[in-house]
Amino acid sequence: QVQLVESGGGLVQAGGSLRLSCAASGSIISVNVMGWYRQTPGKQRELVAAATSDDSINYADSVKGRFTISRDNTKKTVYLQMNSLKPEDTGVYSCVCNIKSRVGYRAEDYWGQGTQVTVSS
């Protein structure tokens, strides 16, 4: 009933940029926190950035100053602009949104399918 569609991943050279998008659709009443996680082999899954509905924003220390999260509440879309990419940024990036749906009695977390980001040296 609720679906997250991600786009924007790919292969980029170190120092380059990518922009990830995640659009939520379905029987949605409200969208609360929207954020991005990444998973790198050999490392724990990391919260990269998150934005609440009242514009509170958090970034992982490793991406501060390089990544920017933003959201368009009309389009129910969250973006992650990634600049000055490093090989250490390589991983699977997944969108997660806390959403109250029309058929649910409480808000639930929904996950996108994940998109691969590869940064070459």
Mean pLDDT of the region 13-36: 97
Residue 92, amino acid: V
The number of C-alpha atoms within 13 Å of 7 and in the hemisphere containing its C-beta is 4
Note the pLDDT tens digit of each residue in 44-72.
Answer: 999 999 999 888 999 999 999 999 999 99
- pLDDT tier for residue 107 given thresholds of 50, 70 and 90: very high
d(CA 69, CA 35): 8
Q: What is the dihedral of CA 55, 99, 17, 61, to 10 degrees?
A: 60
Residues 6+ apart with CB under 8 A from 74: none
Predicted confidence at residue 104, as pLDDT, reads: 84
Q: Is it the case that residue 15 has pLDDT exceeding 90?
A: yes
Q: What is the mean pLDDT of the chain?
A: 96
Q: pLDDT at residue 1 above 90?
A: no
Give the list of residues 6+ apart from residue 18 with CB closer than 8 angstroms, or none.
8, 9, 10, 12, 82, 85, 117
User: CB within 8 A of 43, min separation 6: which ones?
Assistant: none
| Residues 108-118: tens digit of each pLDDT | 999 999 999 99
